[in-house]
Amino acid sequence: MLPPIDLDGQTALVTGGTRGLGRSIAARLAEAGARVVVCGRNEPDDLAGGVSFMAADIRDHEQAIGLVERIADEHSRLDILVNNAGGSPACPAEDASPRFIDAITRLNLLAPLYLAQAAFQHMQEVGNGSIVNIASVSGTRPSPETAVYGAAKAGLLNLTQTLAQEWGPHGIRVNAIVVGLARTENAVAFYGDANAQSKVDASLPLGRMAEGGDVADAVAFLCSPLASYISGARLQVDGGGERPLFLDLAKGG
């Protein structure tokens, strides 16, 4: 039997950790013994147990750097960075304004880079650290109506592998989780009502969309000693992947 994941004594930052998948990730790392800090522009009404909050707009370079420095000052270390904050409203590519493009790219690609750069300074001093970037299937296949988001997530996957190459000699592991279709508090907006969601569930090989705990467990694994030789990886958390549409069309579906 494998030992339980033990992150006792480690300090973790989970961006976007106040709700959705990020909240599940923060709670899981706290359960494993880590001191967990989550961030956002506004403090939420409640937090997962064992989790603290610091205000920051990570799209802003100075605020991102300042956030990491505050955590390092308060906890004397930063061992884990989970770049989870992200997302995008639907927008046809031809209608995406420069302001929209800039905002989506900053959140989904530039902010993770800013934070990783800041975390590197602390992790390399002690010779170890784990950075996990929460990516998406939108970065591995066409992403209609969210072209900017898909392009940013594709960039995040490349950044993951590049940083793993550059920072491995410093003892820092960098990995990505490619999240597939997931059920969050925004599920109705993305997938429709309960009946529509059940059809989406049935279309996946494992018969359901991802839940927060599925992603959180994958993050905890990648941050643990169990993954000590894993870096530059893209861990698919997608229930086996989406069924190619042409298979059903060929059968008259």
Is residue 110 a part of any domain in this protein?
Answer: yes
Q: What is the DSSP letter of 9?
A: T
In the prediction, which pLDDT does 205 show? 80
Q: How far is CA 169 from CA 70, 160, 173, 231, in A?
A: 26, 15, 9, 11
Encode pLDDT of 132-154 as tens digits: 999 999 999 999 999 999 999 99
- The mean pLDDT value of the chain amounts to 92
In the prediction, which pLDDT does 59 show? 96
Q: Is 130 helix (H, G, I), strand (E, B) or coil?
A: strand
Run of H or E residues at 63: helix 61-75
Residues spanned by the domain of 40: 11-250
In the prediction, which pLDDT does 3 show? 62
Encode pLDDT of 153-202 as tens digits: 999 999 999 999 999 999 999 999 999 888 877 666 666 678 878 888 78
Residue 116's region, left for phi above 0, alpha for psi from -120 to 50, else beta, is alpha
CATH number at residue 57: 3.40.50.720
In the prediction, which pLDDT does 2 show? 54
In the prediction, which pLDDT does 187 show? 65
Is residue 181 a part of any domain in this protein?
Answer: yes
Considering its fold, how many domains does the chain have in total?
1
Is residue 4 a part of any domain in this protein?
Answer: no
Contacts of residue 161, Cβ cutoff 8 Å, sequence gap at least 6: 174, 232
**CA within 13 Å, CB half, 128:** 9
Is residue 5 a part of any domain in this protein?
Answer: no
In the prediction, which pLDDT does 63 show? 97
Is residue 218 a part of any domain in this protein?
Answer: yes
Q: Are 135 and 160 in contact (CB under 8 A)?
A: yes
Is residue 23 a part of any domain in this protein?
Answer: yes
Q: Which residues are annotated as catalytic?
A: 149
In the prediction, which pLDDT does 189 show? 64
| Alpha-carbon span 105 to 119, nearest angstrom | 20
Encode pLDDT of 25-51 as tens digits: 999 999 999 999 999 988 888 898 889
